[in-house]
Structure 1
Amino acid sequence: MSDLASPVLLGLIEGITEFLPVSSTGHLLVAEHWLGARSDLFNVVIQAGAILAVVLIYRERLWRLACGLGDPLQRDYAFKLAAAFLVTAVLGFAATRLGFKLPESITPVAWALVLGGVWMLGAEAVAARRPERSTITWTVAILVGLAQVVAGVFPGTSRSAATIFVAMLAGTGNRAAATEFAFLVGIPTMFAASGYELLKTLKGGGEVHEDWSALALAFVVSAVTAFVAVRWLLGYIRTHRFTPFAVYRIALGLALLAFA
């Protein structure tokens, strides 16, 4: 495959799957099985491209949070976002230092897709029977932070699926409210991860081996694609459940297991 086609395709995959509850990491691992493996910096930075799309989509919400800290409701929401991020940062850093991460191979990713899809079906059925609330509690914030760590440790879990459904099960029955909190807390999380990988690469002299033009191209493609995907998803969840995504995960996981 040409030098341009590979980063474009990886950027498209990342942009489409980062915020859909289908696991971007799992899809990238499968794609890299045929396209060739990329560096950890490449994978994290193109995730940051998708996060940039969320910043643009939620720019007015973020501005209200930044300028409205004098309002108790806005301040409470901002503090809960910060708490979720801190839980992820502390435990995620500890997991990284301890080397606690499953092998990034097709079989465990396939199982994570299947089990995650089954869990999504059950979780949404349970959440549908609970009163619909749009409030984000401290319990929801802490559990969302933990869910991000779990998604980082288990490739194929899907950060968006883990955080959205944990929020729904923990008391935020409203899909839109759970999705918004999950997406907003992903902004500092992924930017911090990108910064960490960049510093680690520069410190180790790995920049001389990095294909920066391919990385930049994939970053832009990921950002543009994610912008379209997230705008579509936010409209979709107003009137639809996540069931098709769960079914897709199960079907893809079973296909990968058969292939493996």
Structure 2
Amino acid sequence: MNDLLTAVLLGIIEGITEFLPISSTGHLLIAEHWLGARSDMFNVVIQAGAILAVTLIYRRRLWDLAAGFGRAENRDYAAKLVVAFLITAALGFLVAKLGFKLPETVTPIAWALVIGGFWMLAAERLAERRPENARITWPVAVLVGLAQVVAAIFPGTSRSAATIFIAMLAGTRDRAAATEFAFLVGIPTMYAASGYELLKTLKGGAAHEDWAALGVAFAVSTLTAFVAVKWLLGYIRSHRFTAFAWYRIALGAALLLGLPAGA
């Protein structure tokens, strides 16, 4: 398949799946199983495209936090974002130093999709038993930081699913509030990952990269993610995450039933 067309397809997949609770890394690894693998830099940069979309969507919220830093509630919220990010960064660096590598087969991703889907169904029911609450507490911030690391270690888990549902189970029952915090923590996390991967690639020589395809995938991912996140933020105001959970279960089951041994 033409490299630019493949880049467009992967950019669309990344843009749609990065912030929906269905696992972007899992979907990309599944797609690359048939379309051909891309470099680590390619995958991280298109993730940065999706993060740029979220930055644009939350630009007013971010400006309010910065411009209103003198208000106690803004300082408290910003401090929790920083702590969640630092936990992710520190543990993520440790995991990288230990030499952790993503699986090259689809089977573990399929299992993660299925297990994560059932976990989402159970977690939402458990969260609904808690009193209404839109506050982000310190335990929520710490657990969201840990959840990002877990999602990075196990492709198919979904960073957004892990962080949103951990926040809801830890006390932030309001879906919109939990989603906002999870997405805002993702902004520095993914920008840091993108910058780290870019520096590694440039240091080692980036002549092998197809910069045209990379640029196209980045632009497509940004545009697609913008539309997907805007839709999601409206959807969750009046809907549960049930549809995403059943989608994960169906996709994972289909993969497990249709994959040859060792795939």
Aligned to 2:155: 155
TM-superposition CA deviations, 1:212-234 (whole Å, max 9, x none): 11011000000000000000000
- Give SS of 1:4's match: helix
Aligned to 1:9: 9
Listed as ranges, the matches of 1:26-41 within 5 Å are 26-41=26-41
Deviation at 1:3, TM superposition (A): 2.1
Distance 2:152 2:104 in 1: 11
Deviation at 1:34, TM superposition (A): 1.1
Structure 2 length as normaliser, TM-score? 0.97
Would you say how many aligned residue pairs link Structure 1 and Structure 2?
259
Deviation at 1:204, TM superposition (A): 1.3
Aligned to 1:76: 76
- Give SS of 2:118's match: helix
Q: Do the aligned partners of 1:104 and 1:155 also contact (CA within 8 Å) in 2?
A: no
| Unaligned segments of structure 1, at least 5 residues | none
Q: Do the aligned partners of 1:151 and 1:159 also contact (CA within 8 Å) in 2?
A: yes
Deviation at 1:100, TM superposition (A): 2.8
Deviation at 1:194, TM superposition (A): 0.3
| Percent of aligned pairs with the same amino acid | 76
Structure 1's consecutive aligned runs of 4 or more residues displaced over 6 angstroms after TM superposition are none
TM-superposition CA deviations, 1:94-138 (whole Å, max 9, x none): 001101345232000000000000000000000011112110001
Aligned to 1:66: 66
- Give SS of 1:37's match: coil
Distance 1:132 1:43 in 2: 38
Structure 1 length as normaliser, TM-score? 0.98
Distance 1:182 1:65 in 2: 16
Listed as ranges, the matches of 1:51-62 within 5 Å are 51-62=51-62
Aligned to 1:164: 164
Listed as ranges, the matches of 1:244-259 within 5 Å are 244-259=243-258
Q: Do the aligned partners of 1:147 and 1:163 also contact (CA within 8 Å) in 2?
A: yes
Aligned to 2:122: 122
Aligned to 2:190: 190
Structural RMSD (CA): 0.7
Aligned to 1:142: 142
Distance 2:215 2:66 in 1: 29
